[in-house]
Structure 1
Amino acid sequence: MPLAAVLASLLALTLSPVATFAAPGVLPYVHGTSTEPVYSYQNAIRESVWVQTPNDSDKDGKPDRVRVDIVRPREAASTGVKVPVILEASPYYSCCGRGNESQLKGYAADGTVNAMPLYYDNYFVPRGYAFAAVDLSGTNKSQGCPDVGGPAEVGSAKAVVDWLNGRALGFNADGSPAKATWTTGKTGMIGKSWDGSIANGVAATGVPGLETIVPISSISSWYDYQRFGGVLRAPGYVTYLGGLVNGRAQGVCEPQIDAAQAASDDSTGNYNAYWAARDYRSTVNKVHASVFVVHGINDLNVTTSQFGRWWQDLAARGVPRKIWISQQGHVDPFDIRRTQWVDTLHQWFDYWLQGLHNGVMSQPMASIERPSGEWTTASTWPAIGAVDKPVFLGDGDGTTGTLGGFPSGAVRTFTDDPNLLEGAAVANPNQPLASRAVFLSGKLTQPLRISGIPSVTLRVKVNKPTTELTARLVDYGAQHRVDYLSDGSGIHTLATKSCYGESTATDSACYLDTAVDYTDSNVDVLTRGWKDAAHSVSLKTVTPLQPNRWYTVTVPMDAYDTVVQPGHSLGLVVVGSDTDSTSPTTTGATVQVSLAGSYLLLPSIGNLPFVRTAPQIGTTTLKAQALRRPERNGDFR
C-alpha cells in the first residue's frame, strides 16, 4: 500500500475512534441499509464559504454573495469519501433562532461557526453527511437584501445547490476560490416555516442535484400566506417580515424592502407580478425532487391551504412524496414525536441521498394524528374514498339552519360585525345572533371522516361594494382533544432533555423534551376560509358588488383531516369580518344568503344524517385565545 494511503488510514483512525473499515466498494459509514455514526463530530471540518448568486438584490452593482456554514466529516475528506449534503437555508440564524429553544448560530474567535441550531449536524455528520446552513440573502452574514420568499432568497439557496454541483462560484474568506470537491452533489433541503418555504421554492426551479426536500409548516404561495382570498392578513406585512430578518447595515436594504411593500399592493389585495414571483405552485411542473411534507392540521400561522394545494399539485405530477399531519399548530415534529421523527427522517435521507434501499418508500405514505393524540397511517392522502359531496343548507327553524337536508328556498340575513371574535361566533349555535348564519347537521350516528379541502359556495346579495366572508366548519361535541390553542400551539416544554447525535463544548446535541397539551371541550373549530367578495370574479382585480344583485361567491377553506365522532354535530358558521386572523376592510355590510344557491362542498367518507330541524346543542365554550396573526403573538417561525 502506498505510504500516503497508510498515513491517511492512520489519520482516520486517530480522529475517529469509532470508525470502522468497510469491505471494498462499501462506504465506511453504511451498515446494511442504514448509515451509522462512525465519524467524529468533535473533529469535523467546520468552514465557511461565500457563494455567488445571480442576483443583485441590494442594488450595489455586484452579484450578491451568501454565506454558507458547513460541518462535514474530516475522516471522509481525508480518505477521499464524498458525502451528500443536508441543507437548511434560513433568515433566522441571527434574528430569531431556530427550534423550540430559539437557537442561533455561534462563532469561534476566528469567525468559524462552532454552534449550529438544531440537531441535523450533530446527528447526521457522524453518519456520513455534510450539513450546510445558508444565511439567506440580506440576513445574518450574507450580502444582498431579504425579499420575503422572492427571487433573491430562492436564488441564493439555489446558487448553493449549484455550487455543490460545480455550477456556481464559491469563495473563501480571503477571496480565494472554494470548490465543493468533497461532496457527491446530492442535496436534501429541510426547514420549518420560512426555511421550508425556500425549500419549496428551490424545488420549483427544478435545479439539478436537489434530490429531496422536507418542508415543515411551510409556504407554497406567499400570496395565500399574506392574503386570504383578497383579504389582507395584516397591513405592511412585507415591511414587517423584511425588517425582522434584515441583517444589513442601516440604509442598505430599507429602500428595497419599501419598494417590495409597495409592489405587494395592500390597497387592493390583488394577486399581481410581485405575488406571482412568490407562487411556487405556478412552477410545480419543474419539481423533480421527492417531497416529505410535514404540517400541523391546526396551524394558524402557515395555514393548511399551503400544504393542501401544494400536495395536490405534486400528486397530479406523480412526484414521490410522504406526509405527516399532526394535530398541533406551528410546531416542529421533533417536538411532537421526537424518536419516531428522527428515525423516519434518517431513513428518508438515507434513501434519497445515500441510495440505500431501506424500504421507506414502501411504508404508508401518510401518518396522521387524530384529535385524541393517536397516530394512524394510510396509503395516501387525502383518504381513499373521500369524495367531494355537496351538503345543502336548510332553513331549519329560521334561527339555526340545517346541514344534510333538502336545499331550501329561504334567504338568511346577517350584518358584518368586526367585533365578533371566533369564540362568540361559534358559541351556542341555537341562539339568534344578527351577525352570523349557523347551519347544523343532525347528530352523527356513525363516524364521519373529513379528508381534503372543503369549500363553501354562497349565493349572496350585499348592500355595500364588498364585504369579507368568513366560513368556519365546527365540530360540536364533547371530546378530549389536543389543545392547539395553548400557548405552545399544542405542546409545552419540560425540564428534562434527550440527546440526538454527538455534542461538543459549544454545540450540544441535547434538547429540552416536550409534551402534548390536551383539553376537554365541547366545541372545536376544524377549518376556516375567507374571501373578499369583490375578488369573487378574480384575485387579480377588484370587481365592486352592485346593490340588489345576486352574486355567487366561493369561499375556499383550509385543508383538513379528522374523524367527527358519533353523537357530535357538524356546524357551518358564516360571518363577515374576522379580526382574529385577518385585517379586513370592514364595511358593516348586510349580507343576504340565498340558501337555494348555497352549499358546503365536503370531502368526506360517510354521510351527514338527513334533518329538517337542527338539533339543540346547548351551551358551548371555546377557549379564550389571543389574536392569531403571527406578528401579534410572535408565532412566525
Structure 2
Amino acid sequence: MDVPVVYRASPYYAGLNDVANHGVDRELYAPGRPGSTSGSGRSSERAGDERLAMAGGSAAAISWPYEEYLLARGYAVVYAESLGSGASTGCPTSGGRNETIGARSVIDWLNSRAPARDGAGNPVAADWTTGEVAMMGVSYNGTLPNAVAATGVEGLEAIVPIGAISSWYDYYRADGAVVAPGGYQGEDTDVLAKAVHTNDADCRREIARLSAKQDRRTGDYNAFWDERNYLDDADEVEAAVLMAHGLNDWNVKTKQAAQWYEALRENGVAHKIWWHQSGHTDPITLRKDEWLRTVNRWFTRYLHGVQNGVERESRATIQREDSSWTREPEWPAPRAHEVPLKPSSGGDQRGGLSVSARGDRDVTEVLRDDASKRAEKLAAAPSSPHRLAYFTGPSAEPVRISGTVSADLALSFDRRAANVTAMLVDLAPDGTTTPITRGWTDPQNRHSLDRTSPIRPGRQYRIGVRMMPDDYVLPTGHRLGLVVLSSDHEFTLRPDPGTRLSLDLGASRVRVPVVGSVRQWR
C-alpha cells in the first residue's frame, strides 16, 4: 500500500560545533566616521544547546516525538540532513537558496522527479509513497518547510512550521539595527553555519562569503537577505500551512510568524496558527492531545484529501495568560482597533500616557545611553537617566492587545549613530513590571531598510519603532507603559555609554491595537 510522507529536514542531527559569536561591545556605524568597523572581535558567548534540543536527536539515533504517532496513522516518516551538515555534502548557508533546493530535492525524489542512490551507488526509487508530502519541524527544522513551500514545489501538500523563520533579515536585524536572536547575542549567519557544518575544509570559503555579505557593519537589507526572505514568494505557496509560535519566543521572534501568516492570508493560502504562552518550544509539550489531534486532522485533510472541515474552523487558537485557550476567526483579533497614546512629562521617573493631549507640546525629555544596563531593570526602576517611561492610569477592566504596537517618536541625537529601543510594559499595583513586547531600529534607516541615511546631531527626526506582534491581556488595576531607551543589552550592539537622545513629547505617540474600550485612558 502506498502511503503519504511526513518529512523532517534538519541541520542539527549531527549536533553542534562549539563556536564563538561576534563581539558586540563596539561603536555603531556612521558613514565616514573614523572607527566605524565591521566589529570582528569575538565575544565569550557561545552557541547554546537549545537548537540541539530542537533537533531531538543525534547522528547515532534520530528520534522525534511525532514519529510513533504518525507511523501508527499510516504515514511514512522521512529524515534528511540539510546541506553541509551530518553526512550531507555541500555547505550550510543559513537559509540560502542551496539549502532550499537541497531540501526540495527530497520531495522531487518522493515524486519520481529526481534520482537517488544508496551508499553503494545503487539507484533507489520511492515506489512506496503516494507522493503527497508534509514537512514539519521546530526552529531551523520549521524554517526549511517555509523555504521549500515558497518554491511552490509539486507534491508538498502541507507544512507545520513551529517557531520558524519567514525572513532571515528579521532574525538577525531589526529595521537596520544589528539585533541578536534572544539568548544568542553576537550570533549571525556565519556563526550558525559554523555551528552546524561538518565539511570544514570545503566550506571555509562559503562561510567567509556569509561573513562578508551579511554586513554587520551597516545592518542594511541587501541581496543576501533578499535571497533569505520567503515572504517575497508567498504567492508561490501551494501547501496548507498550520503554524505554531510562542508569544514569549525571543529567539525566533513573533514577527516571523505574524508576517508569514499575513502573507499567506493575502495570497489565499490555507492557514491556521496556534499562539502559546511559552517561548521557543513545541506545543506538543504544552497541550499534547489537542495539538496532535489538530496536526492529524490537518494531514488527513491535505495528504489524504478527506473533507473533514478543518480549513473552515477558527484560524487562530490562542493560549491566554491563565493557560486557558481561546479561538478567533483570524489573527490579529478582527475587533482590534488602533489607539494612539501620548506621553506627558516626567519620563525620567514615570510620566503619563493617555489618549488625550496633556499640553506638553513644547516639552523635550532626555535619556543617556548605557548599554551595560538591562532593559528589564531600566523599565522596573522608579527613576533612571538611561530611559524614559510613561504610564497610563490603572485599567478599570481587562484590556486585550492584539497585533503590532508601534511607537512614533520625535527624536534628536547628540551623536551620528544610535540605537533606538521601545518597550511596552505592564506595571502591576504592587510596583512590579512585566515586559510585554519591544522593538528596535537604526535611525539611519528611517527612510529605507536598504539605505543608510546619515543623522545630523541636534536635528529632530521622526523615528518609527514597530514592536514584536503580541496578544496580551492587561489585567484590571494594571497600568500600560511605554519605555524608550537606546541600546538593549541583550539584543543590540553595545556602544560606549553617553549618547543622548532627546524625545519631543508633543510630537510622539505609541499606537496600541486594542480589543474593546479604553475609556479609562482618556
Unaligned 5+ runs, structure 2: 17-48
Counterpart check, 1:366 vs 2:316: yes
Which residue does the alignment assign to 1:414? 367
Q: How many residues are paired up?
A: 481
Decide which of 207, 212, 221 is 1:262's aligned counterpart. Answer: 212
Q: CA deviation at 1:229?
A: 2.0
Which residue does the alignment assign to 2:65? 119
Decide which of 310, 316, 321 is 2:271's aligned counterpart. Answer: 321
Decide which of 501, 508, 514 is 1:598's aligned counterpart. Answer: 508
Give the AA of the match of 2:233.
Answer: T
Give the AA of the match of 1:336.
Answer: L
Decide which of 225, 231, 252 is 1:281's aligned counterpart. Answer: 231
Which residue does the alignment assign to 2:94? 148
Decide which of 106, 115, 118 is 1:160's aligned counterpart. Answer: 106
Structure 2: distance between partners of 1:123 and 1:314:
28
Which residue does the alignment assign to 2:134? 188
1:338-370 residue CA offsets vs partner (Å, 9 max, x unmatched): 122112211111111111223322332211111
| SS of equivalent to 1:275 | helix
1:453-473 residue CA offsets vs partner (Å, 9 max, x unmatched): 111111111111121011111
Which residue does the alignment assign to 1:445? 396
- Once the two structures are superposed, the pairs formed by residues 578-593 of structure 1 within 5 Å of their partners are 578-585=488-495, 588-593=498-503
Q: Is residue 340–residue 355 contact of structure 2 (8 Å, CA) maintained in 1?
A: no
1:40-87 residue CA offsets vs partner (Å, 9 max, x unmatched): xxxxxxxxxxxxxxxxxxxxxxxxxxxxxxxxxxxxxxxxx2111101
Q: CA deviation at 1:102?
A: 6.0
Counterpart check, 1:83 vs 2:3: yes
Give the AA of the match of 1:273.
Answer: A
Q: CA deviation at 1:312?
A: 1.3
Q: Is residue 404–residue 608 contact of structure 1 (8 Å, CA) maintained in 2?
A: no
| SS of equivalent to 1:596 | helix
Which residue does the alignment assign to 1:237? 188
1:480-522 residue CA offsets vs partner (Å, 9 max, x unmatched): xxxxxxxxxxxxxxxxxxxxxxxxxxxxxxxxxxxxxxxxx93
Q: CA deviation at 1:105?
A: 4.3
Counterpart check, 1:570 vs 2:468: no
Structure 2: distance between partners of 1:397 and 1:243:
44
Which residue does the alignment assign to 1:385? 335
Q: CA deviation at 1:235?
A: 4.3
Q: Is residue 393–residue 405 contact of structure 1 (8 Å, CA) maintained in 2?
A: no
Counterpart check, 1:529 vs 2:416: no
Counterpart check, 1:608 vs 2:518: yes
Q: CA deviation at 1:574?
A: 0.5
Q: Is residue 84–residue 353 contact of structure 1 (8 Å, CA) maintained in 2?
A: yes
Give the AA of the match of 1:411.
Answer: T
Give the AA of the match of 1:473.
Answer: L
- Once the two structures are superposed, the pairs formed by residues 471-620 of structure 1 within 5 Å of their partners are 471-477=422-428, 522-585=432-495, 588-609=498-519
Structure 1: distance between partners of 2:476 and 2:12:
45
Q: Is residue 445–residue 566 contact of structure 1 (8 Å, CA) maintained in 2?
A: yes
Change (3 A) 1:118 1:100: same
| SS of equivalent to 1:251 | helix
Which residue does the alignment assign to 2:44? none
Counterpart check, 1:136 vs 2:82: yes
Give the AA of the match of 1:412.
Answer: E
Structure 2: distance between partners of 1:135 and 1:190:
14
| SS of equivalent to 1:276 | helix
Structure 2: distance between partners of 1:453 and 1:162:
38
Structure 1: distance between partners of 2:6 and 2:173:
32
Q: Is residue 163–residue 170 contact of structure 1 (8 Å, CA) maintained in 2?
A: yes
Q: CA deviation at 1:93?
A: 0.7
Structure 2: distance between partners of 1:536 and 1:461:
13
Structure 1: distance between partners of 2:392 and 2:327:
28
Structure 1: distance between partners of 2:141 and 2:347:
50
Structure 2: distance between partners of 1:101 and 1:416:
36
| SS of equivalent to 2:15 | coil
Counterpart check, 1:93 vs 2:93: no
TM-score by length of 2: 0.88
1:268-289 residue CA offsets vs partner (Å, 9 max, x unmatched): 1111111111011111111121
Counterpart check, 1:427 vs 2:380: yes
Change (3 A) 1:587 1:229: farther
Q: Is residue 59–residue 86 contact of structure 2 (8 Å, CA) maintained in 1?
A: no
RMSD of aligned residue pairs (Cα, Å)? 2.0
Unaligned 5+ runs, structure 1: 1-80, 108-114, 480-520, 613-637
Structure 2: distance between partners of 1:535 and 1:600:
20
Which residue does the alignment assign to 1:197? 143
Q: Is residue 451–residue 603 contact of structure 1 (8 Å, CA) maintained in 2?
A: yes
Structure 2: distance between partners of 1:398 and 1:335:
42
Larger radius of gyration: 1
Identity percentage of aligned residues: 36
Larger deviation: 258-267 or 397-406?
397-406
Give the AA of the match of 2:478.
Answer: H
Change (3 A) 1:303 1:157: same
Structure 1: distance between partners of 2:167 and 2:494:
20
| SS of equivalent to 1:334 | helix
Decide which of 217, 234, 237 is 2:163's aligned counterpart. Answer: 217
| SS of equivalent to 2:262 | helix
| SS of equivalent to 1:185 | strand
